A and B are shown apart, each in its own frame.
Chain A
Amino acid sequence: DAGVTQSPTHLIKTRGQQVTLRCSPKSGHDTVSWYQQALGQGPQFIFQYYEEEERQRGNFPDRFSGHQFPNYSSELNVNALLLGDSALYLCASSRSGRPNEQFFGPGTRLTVL
Chain B
Amino acid sequence: QKEVEQDPGPLSVPEGAIVSLNCTYSNSAFQYFMWYRQYSRKGPELLMYTYSSGNKEDGRFTAQVDKSSKYISLFIRDSQPSDSATYLCAMSPSGSARQLTFGSGTQLTVLP
B43 and A100 contacting across the interface, CB-CB below 8 Å: no
Interface size bracket, B side: 20 to 34
With contact pairs A104-B43, A104-B44, A106-B42 given, residues A56 and B98 touching in the complex (Cβ less than 8 Å): yes
In this complex, which of A48, A99, A103, A105 has the most chain B Cβ atoms within 10 angstroms of its Cβ? A99
A41 at the interface (CB under 8 A from B): yes
Tell me the smallest distance from the CB of B32 to a CB of chain A, in Å.
4
Q: Which of B6, B32, B43, B90 has a CB less than 8 Å from the CB of A107?
A: B43
Cβ contacts under 8 Å, A90 to chain B: 43-44
Q: A residues within 8 A CB of B100?
A: 33, 35, 43, 45, 92, 100, 102
Number of A-B contacts (CB under 8 A): 64
Stretch in B11-19, B53-61, B66-74, B102-110 with 4+ CB within 8 Å of A: B102-110
Give bound CA distance, A35 to B92, whole Å: 14
Binding site for A on B (CB under 8 A): 4, 6, 8, 32, 34, 36, 41-46, 49, 88, 90, 92, 96-105
- Write the residues of chain A forming the contact surface with B, with a CB cutoff of 8 angstroms: 4, 31, 33, 35, 40-45, 48, 55-56, 58, 90, 92, 94, 99-107, 109
